């Protein structure tokens, strides 16, 4: 009988502990998601770090700030060597759209090159440190040829295809002249898109941008001389200017995006997908990128 009461009391204690933990999690979920509701008006800060592969989170943050009435202006902090063309263009589009509604100030960190520069050009102002590495206006498409290695190990590859370009970029054979011409036309098309975006965003003639669009890099100081950036300054300088342009007096309050909730399964899936995608991108040898070569994530 005594043991029975001990088990009953232990069970009730465990039940109340679990109920309390559940309640705390529920409260944190409700109020944690809305923790920004009571903050004062200020400057939103969106950060883009590393190689640009997936634009979804950055685009969401920019769109959320566009709708948030407490966010009066936005600083886009960039520390990226660029990345894949499509994702870079999606972020560029979101920045351009936001800048029509609220002032966007781009702030460059150690590197904001190629796609990292591309996403900055729709901003109202671009700040760079004197030693920031930027520019690299150009397009990369990389391939690998393993034909010689396969011959050495006695390995052969066979491909069945429905058109002569279907296996373009194959690692098992040399590229034909027709394939090179076709791919070059794709590169030239995306390069023109880059040049047009810079010319439009920086209010420069396309002919002037073309002179600089050969893949060369610039220091922030050099870029300012070519009118690729507006001012030399730190992220804090950019935040203060964003506050001034938004009519905020004194030190502007910084508003950061809500942190994305991470559950264990989501983290494992995202990590695996990221590593797999990076492996394919680097080892398959086929990518179309606005990216500064030689800078790893």
Catalytic residues: 114, 166
CA distance 237 to 77: 12
Q: Would strands 231-232 and 287-291 be described as parallel, antiparallel, or unpaired?
A: unpaired
Beta strands in the chain (DSSP E): 42-49, 71-80, 82-84, 103-113, 125-128, 133-135, 140-142, 217-219, 231-232, 253-255, 287-291
CA 15 to centroid of chain Cα atoms: 45
The residue count of the chain comes to 297
Exposure of 293 by Cβ count < 10 A (0-12 exposed, 13-18 middle, 19+ buried)?
A: middle
Identify the helix (H) or strand (E) that includes residue 58.
helix 56-67
The tokens describing 20, both together, are 């309390």
CA distance 118 to 88: 7
**246-270 residues labelled b (16+ CB within 10 A) or e (exposed):** bebeeebbebebeeeeeeeeeeeee
Greatest C-alpha distance within the chain: 93
Rounded to 5 degrees, what are φ and ψ at 9? -65, -40
Lateral strand order in the sheet of 287-291: 82-84, 287-291, 140-142
Q: Would strands 133-135 and 217-219 be described as parallel, antiparallel, or unpaired?
A: antiparallel
CA distance 153 to 173: 15
């Amino acid at each position: 009988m005594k043991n029975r009461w001990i088990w009953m009391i232990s069970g009730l204690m465990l039940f109340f502990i679990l109920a309390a933990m559940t309640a705390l999690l529920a409260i944190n979920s409700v109020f944690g998601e809305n923790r920004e509701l009571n903050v004062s008006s200020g400057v939103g800060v969106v950060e883009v770090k590393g190689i640009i592969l997936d634009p979804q989170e950055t685009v969401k943050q920019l769109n959320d700030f566009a709708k948030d009435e407490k966010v009066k202006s936005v600083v886009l902090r960039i520390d990226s060597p660029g990345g894949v063309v499509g994702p870079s263009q999606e972020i560029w589009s979101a920045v351009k759209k936001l800048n029509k509604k609220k002032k966007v100030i781009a702030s460059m960190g150690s590197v904001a090159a190629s796609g990292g520069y591309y996403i900055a050009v729709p901003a109202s102002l671009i700040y760079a440190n004197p030693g920031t590495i930027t520019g690299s206006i150009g397009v990369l498409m990389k391939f690998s040829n393993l034909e010689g290695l396969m011959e050495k190990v006695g390995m052969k590859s066979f491909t069945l295809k429905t058109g002569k370009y279907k296996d373009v970029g194959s690692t098992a054979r040399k590229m034909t002249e027709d394939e090179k011409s076709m791919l070059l036309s794709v590169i030239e098309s995306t390069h023109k898109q880059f040049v047009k975006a810079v010319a439009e965003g920086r209010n420069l003639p396309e002919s002037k941008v073309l002179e600089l669009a050969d893949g060369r890099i610039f220091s922030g100081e050099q870029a300012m001389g070519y009118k690729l950036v507006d001012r030399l300054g730190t992220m804090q300088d950019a935040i203060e200017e964003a506050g001034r342009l938004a009519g905020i007096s004194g030190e502007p309050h910084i508003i950061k995006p809500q942190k994305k909730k991470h559950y264990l399964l989501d983290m494992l899936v995202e990590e695996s997908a990221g590593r797999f995608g990076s492996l394919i991108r680097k080892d398959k040898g086929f990518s179309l990128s606005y990216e500064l070569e030689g800078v790893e994530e």
